[in-house]
Amino acid sequence: MTTKLYNPFLDFKFDNKSCFLTGHQLMSEEERIPVFPVWMMRAFDLEEKPFKMLDESFSTYKKLQLPCSPEVSAVIEELELKVEKAMNEGYAAVKDLDQLSLFQWVSKILYGVVFNEIQAGMRQAVLSGEEMNFSQSLVHKFRNLHAMLQSLLVTMEFEERNPFTIEIFEVDNDADTFMYRDEINTLIFSLRMKDFAIIATLQDNGTNAIFHDELLAKIVNKKLHPIQFEEICARYFYSAYLFNRLPEYTIMETPTKVFVEPMPLNDWTLKPIFDNWNGKTYGQVLESFWKPWGYLLFEIIKDPENPMTFIVDKEGNFRDNIELSKS
């Protein structure tokens, strides 16, 4: 008998009566797990902190939850313990984590946010009496993400290349640092805490890392100042926005394994995979990421062709010993 992946997007099943990952009926609506790990919320006092939703309303980190069966909850708890241990140890341990585990951990959080956004959208549609308008390209991305997250439950092999890339950086953070960002439209995620930071691009087949390969080569084995990491983050979030493909995957189920193969990103139009980089737009993104240090757009793009950077000097060499308050 072949494995059957669950697809909640077929009938838009996003209630609290069935498990988010399997669709199995739950015994009670109390069978839930938090989107953000309990250990993380407690360590950084996040539980009651506001979490801004896409419709500009606010929830809290603690209120973001997923309906989940005990069986799936046990699997996720095992993953959480593994990642918690590594993150408590710091950069070296996180760097040693396997990419699949990190992908599953990040994807559970990102998909959990998506799930809660969809529920909020459905509630709003009921209140307004209007049909919920949902982009088919987003459905496509979220369906693929959900299918790949089921690698928690079934043996899954990503053929040729991983659909995702997860970069881990050593960062000279203050001890109480916690900085989380996501962009669910482009499926990008970043996290900065303790002595490390993570950027994950979940459905680009590794192209953002290729796009930034020259930059990444300059920071190999370098400990970054937080402002340097935030600059890298801004570049990734902007390039994820410029990524103009909707990746397709061939998913083949067999009795013992699910095979996921990325389809080629090149198409008949021969259009570049990324839209043109615009210095001013990038500067606006960077201004947002550099908000803790107070740099304004007019400073950042005095020379629009060469926006301000803290990563390299005028000769193109990595900048060490940056004297700023770390934030």
The pLDDT value given to residue 3? 64
Nearest to 290 by CA among 237, 221, 239: 237
Residue bearing the bigger pLDDT, 323 or 263:
263
Kindly state whether residue 306 falls inside one of the protein's structural domains. Answer: no
pLDDT over threshold 60, residue 2: no
Residue 287 within a domain? yes
Nearest to 139 by CA among 11, 3, 302: 11
Q: Residue 222: is it exposed, middle or buried by C-beta count within 10 angstroms (0-12/13-18/19+)?
A: middle
Nearest alpha carbon to residue 179 among 325, 44, 35 = 44
Q: Examine residue 114 and state whether it is found in any structural domain, yes or no.
A: yes
pLDDT for position 131: 76
pLDDT at 121: 87
Domain containing 287 equals: 32-300
Is residue 174's pLDDT more than 70?
Answer: yes
* Confidence at residue 1, expressed as pLDDT on a 0 to 100 scale: 44
Confidence category of residue 127, pLDDT binned at 50, 70, 90:
confident
Residue 180 lies in a domain: yes
**What is the total count of domains within the chain?**
1
pLDDT in tens, 193-224: 999 999 999 999 999 999 999 999 999 999 99
Tell me the backbone φ, ψ of residue 144, rounded to 5 degrees: -65, -40
Identify which of 294, 290, 84, 107 has the alpha carbon closest to the alpha carbon of residue 193: 84
- Mean pLDDT estimate for the chain: 93
Q: What is the mean pLDDT of residues 277-306?
A: 94
Q: Is residue 262 part of a domain?
A: yes
- What pLDDT is attached to residue 266? 77
Task: Indicate the pairing of strand 178-183 with strand 65-67.
Answer: unpaired
3-state DSSP assignment of residue 213: helix
pLDDT band at 156 (very low <50, low <70, confident <90, very high): very high
Q: Whole-angstrom Cα distance, residue 40 to residue 44? A: 6
> Does residue 135 carry a pLDDT above 90?
no
**Residue 56: inside a domain, yes or no?**
yes
What confidence category does residue 305 fall into, taking pLDDT thresholds of 50, 70 and 90? confident
pLDDT value at residue 268: 66
What pLDDT is attached to residue 326? 58
DSSP strand pairing (65-67 vs 32-34): antiparallel
Higher pLDDT, 303 or 128: 303
Is residue 318 situated within a structural domain? no
Structure tokens at 168: 């881990």
Burial 41-80 (b: 16+ CB within 10 A, else e): bebbebeeeebeeeeeeebebbebbbbbbeebbeebeebb
- The answer to whether position 24 is within a domain reads no
Average pLDDT over residues 52-76: 94
The model's pTM is 0.94
- Express as a percent the part of the chain with pLDDT over 90: 82
Distance CA 312, CA 203 (A): 29
